[in-house]
Chain A
Amino acid sequence: MSDSAHDTFTQLYVAHEQAIYGFVFSLLHSRADADDVIQETMTQLWQHFDDFDRSRPFLPWANRFAYRRVLMHRRRESVRRTYLSDDVLELLAQDYPQATDWEESRRRALRTCLSGLTAEQSELLKCRYETEESLIDIADRLGRSVNSLYKSLQRIRQNLVSCVEMRLGSEASR
Chain B
Amino acid sequence: MSTTFNRERLTELAGLLCDDEISQEEVAELESVLKSSPDARQLFHLTVAVHRDLQFCNIEAVDAAKPADQRMASKLAPSDPSIESQPARARPAPRRSTAAVVTAVIVLCLAGYLNFRGGDNALDLLGDVTITDLVDVEWADGESRLHVGQNVGKRRLRINAGSIRLAYSDGVVTTIDGPADLELVSDQRAILHQGQLVAFVPDGAQGFRVSTPAAEIIDLGTEFGVTASEDGTSNIIVFDGEVELSPNNKPDAQSQKIAAGLAWQIDREGKGTRVEFRQASFEVPRSLLRRRRIIREPFRSAKSFPGRQRTGWTSPWSLSGIPEDDLAKTVNVLVENPLLPGTQNYLTVHAANDLRAEPLRLSLSRAFASFDQFDVTVPYTVEFCFRLECAPASIRQIRISSAATDRDDIDESMWQVRTVRPSKDSSELQWRVYHPESDSNQFEMLPVAQGQTYRFLIEVDPVVRRWRMTISDGQRTIWNTLRNGDPLRLSSGTVADGGLLRWSVTGKPGSEVKFSLDAIRIQNPPLPAVVASAK
Binding site for B on A (CB under 8 A): 22-23, 25-26, 29-31, 44, 47-48, 50-53, 55, 60-61, 63-65, 67-68, 71-72, 75, 81-82, 84-88, 90-99, 102, 105-107, 110-111, 114-115, 117-120, 122-130, 141-148, 150-154, 157-158, 160-162, 164-166, 168-173
Asked if A130 and B60 sit within 8 Å, CB to CB, the answer is: yes
Asked if B63 and A148 sit within 8 Å, CB to CB, the answer is: no
Docked pose: A99 CA to B116 CA in angstroms: 7
B124 at the interface (CB under 8 A from A): yes
How many interface residues does B have (CB within 8 Å)?
Answer: 99
Docked pose: A74 CA to B317 CA in angstroms: 42
Map CB proximity to A onto B120-148 as digits: 1 under 8 Å, 0 otherwise: 01111101000000000000000000000
Residue in B60, B62, B79, B106 whose CB lies within 8 Å of A120:
B79
Asked if A85 and B31 sit within 8 Å, CB to CB, the answer is: yes
Chain B: CB-nearest residue to A43? B204
Please judge, given known A-B contacts A29-B17, A148-B83, whether A119 and B73 are in contact too, CB under 8 Å.
Answer: yes
Chain B: CB-nearest residue to A73? B207
Docked pose: A162 CA to B73 CA in angstroms: 27
Docked pose: A55 CA to B300 CA in angstroms: 12
Asked if B83 and A160 sit within 8 Å, CB to CB, the answer is: no
Asked if A164 and B314 sit within 8 Å, CB to CB, the answer is: no
Least CB distance, A158 to chain B, in whole angstroms: 5
Docked pose: A65 CA to B169 CA in angstroms: 10
Binding site for A on B (CB under 8 A): 8, 11-12, 14-18, 20-22, 24, 27, 30-31, 34-35, 38, 41-55, 57-60, 62-63, 65-66, 70-73, 75-80, 83-84, 86-91, 102, 105-106, 108-113, 115-118, 121-125, 127, 169-170, 185-189, 204-207, 209, 218, 301, 303-304, 309-312, 314
Which of A75, A99, A107, A119 counts the most B-chain CB atoms under 10 A from its CB? Answer: A119
Which chain B residues lie closer than 8 Å to A82 at the CB level? 17, 20, 22, 24, 27
Asked if A22 and B207 sit within 8 Å, CB to CB, the answer is: no
Docked pose: A93 CA to B125 CA in angstroms: 8
Docked pose: A158 CA to B12 CA in angstroms: 7
Docked pose: A89 CA to B99 CA in angstroms: 28
Which chain B residues lie closer than 8 Å to A147 at the CB level? 86-90
Asked if A96 and B45 sit within 8 Å, CB to CB, the answer is: yes
Least CB distance, A150 to chain B, in whole angstroms: 7
Subset of 9 A-B contacts with CB under 8 Å: A22-B52, A50-B310, A67-B125, A68-B170, A95-B123, A99-B116, A110-B50, A117-B63, A145-B88
Docked pose: A52 CA to B58 CA in angstroms: 36
Residue in A29, A96, A110, A148 whose CB lies within 8 Å of B123:
A96
Please judge, given known A-B contacts A94-B125, A170-B109, A173-B111, whether A157 and B52 are in contact too, CB under 8 Å.
Answer: no
Chain B: CB-nearest residue to A99? B118
Asked if B59 and A165 sit within 8 Å, CB to CB, the answer is: no
Asked if A51 and B310 sit within 8 Å, CB to CB, the answer is: yes
